Amino acid sequence: MTPASNGSSSELSAALRSCRGAFIGVGAMSGMLNVLALTGSFYMLQVYDRVIPSRSVSTLIGLSIIVGFLFVFQGVLDALRMRVLSWSAAVVDERVGRRVFDISSQLPLKMRASGDGSQAQRDLDQIRGYLSSVGPTAFFDMPWMPLYLGICFLFHFWIGMLATVGALVLCALTFLTERLTVGPAKEASKAAVERNILSEASRRNAEVLQAMGFAGRVANRWETANARLLGSQRRVGNVAGSLGSASKICRMILQSAILALGAWLVIHGEASGGIMIASSIMMSRALAPVELAIGSWKGFVGARQSWSRLNRLMAAMPERSETLTLPAPKAKLTVEAVSVAPPGEQRLSVTDATFELTAGQALGVIGPSASGKSSLARALVGVWPTLRGKVRLDGAPLDRWSPEALGPHIGYLPQDIELFAGTISENIGRFEESPDASAIIAAAQAAGVHEMILRLSDGYETQVGESGTVLSAGQRQRIALARALYRDPFLVVLDEPNSNLDAEGEAALTEAILSIRARGGIAVVVAHRPSALSGVDHVLAMANGRVQAFGPKEEVLGKVLQRPAVAGGLRVMPSLEGKAS
């Protein structure tokens, strides 16, 4: 596998280097195995040239016992070599597996989603699978080809020449395999990503497909992508299979040719019968690594492509360096001329937003659809990085905190609610290894969901299923609100928190916002429905990605409701009219 442009400095290369001792051991074992592979040839040489002419049974028995022992030792050594390769593959996975998971989970936040979200993990699986297969042994055995060819020359010059020509032919086939499989392999990779994206989207939207009857049309698109994948894989398989078959045929022809050449030399008295048989076995062993490399070339190409993709991802998303742990924020949130764009895009969704909130205040963010409200919310919690400006907690920019250090001080409820497979208590407790039961219950009570949880069959130990599908949309939203309130974070950002709530849930939401203010926290509520503004004391109005107004709730809503809708200006929902207070 050839690393990407960052080569030896890449994390994958570093993981491989950590197995340097194991690979040296594999190389040493390969050397012993290749020496032991001479056993069969020299056994035949001794049998034909010594045992048969002397008719010595004792010599035959002695040779057979020694050869049997050497064959057993060779088998044990070969098995041990495979175990070391498997162990090395597992070590590489352990060293970078967590990193690959982190990249997969953070990728949508750093760049435009253009592929299958699980591709990075599959790339690591591909690399691990190849490293633990017989494929790499071919590269450890190839350096020993000159040894066999040299012995063939010792047998006879023309035997060595024929063996060398055979080796060159198979090397040419290996080069041809590389040239003919690169293109189809890349096409297969792209088609696989497209097919997997369609499969995952269909699984997530099964209800929509069924209800509106276009599952068949999506299935047709999947079939098209799958056909492209199968076609590309078939081309790769056909090339590798055809050239693999060609290599086998060449090897068989060469073996027969060397037997014929040996026989010709025996007839002319230039070689013995033992040399004739031994040279045939020797040539077979000399060409075996090349033949194995051709047979496993498909896996090698796939692993090399996976290696390159992972290297590029890791270079694009370097690990965060350790930062000094800052004191817990408790005074203010400052937004300084913040501009935000979706990951991987340059089009700004928020431009030069500026405001400040102090402990005990709550802000309602209003505005028409696509005005930048959710983008601002993502920037406030550090989900989307700012292109310009800074978001600060007590004067410290968010990028000075690691996600693990910042997380306990942040509560976030996004528009699209996702719970993780597990219990309700695990979800509210953010999957802490040692969660505080009293804090979980307090968060549920603050979100007004404690009583609802107790009415469930298993209470807080109820399994929510994948994405929380066991619960209703309103229940998921209220449990996600409890998760946002867990351990009383200083800054709580709620993006349309009442979109799925009934009257009871909205009352609980207002109480939660008031409780955040009462304990000295800051709440930011993105709202389309006016009921979500009941607990806030400040309002920020947005339009076209810019702040149109900011200040006390009554003052801002009074201005907004008196302003007519104009092109490029703020358009306020009719539901806010008469609700300024």
Overall pTM > 0.95 = no
pLDDT at 348: 94
Cβ-contact 533, 364 below 8 angstroms: yes
d(CA 162, CA 253): 11
* Nearest one of 323, 523, 331, 487 to 404, comparing CA atoms: 323
Domains of the chain in start order, with CATH, are: 7-316 (1.20.1560.10), 332-576 (3.40.50.300)
* Nearest one of 334, 354, 336 to 394, comparing CA atoms: 334
DSSP H/E element including 486: none
d(CA 240, CA 250): 15
Residues forming a β-bridge with 335: 355, 391
- For 574-579, the CB contacts below 8 A with 24+ separation are 575/529, 575/530, 576/366, 576/530, 579/530, 579/533
pLDDT at 444: 95
Tokens describing residue 128: 């691990």
Cβ-contact 398, 382 below 8 angstroms: yes
* Nearest one of 344, 483, 317 to 412, comparing CA atoms: 483
The tokens 């890349």 sit on which residue? 186
Q: One digit per residue, pLDDT tens: the chain, 581 residues? A: 544 444 435 888 888 888 999 999 999 999 999 888 888 888 888 888 888 888 888 888 998 999 999 999 999 999 999 999 999 999 999 999 888 888 888 877 776 655 556 788 888 999 999 999 988 998 898 888 888 888 888 888 898 888 888 888 888 887 787 778 777 777 877 787 778 777 777 777 776 777 777 778 878 888 888 888 888 878 877 877 777 777 778 878 887 888 888 888 888 888 887 788 888 888 777 888 877 887 787 788 888 888 988 898 888 888 776 677 889 999 999 999 999 998 878 889 999 999 999 999 999 999 998 899 999 999 999 989 899 999 999 999 998 888 888 999 999 999 888 888 899 999 999 999 888 999 999 999 999 999 999 999 899 999 998 777 788 888 999 999 999 999 999 999 999 998 888 888 888 999 999 999 999 999 999 988 777 899 999 999 999 999 999 999 999 988 876 655 443 444 444 444 334 33
Q: At what angle do helices 145-155 and 157-204 cross, to 10 degrees?
A: 160
Cβ-contact 181, 240 below 8 angstroms: yes
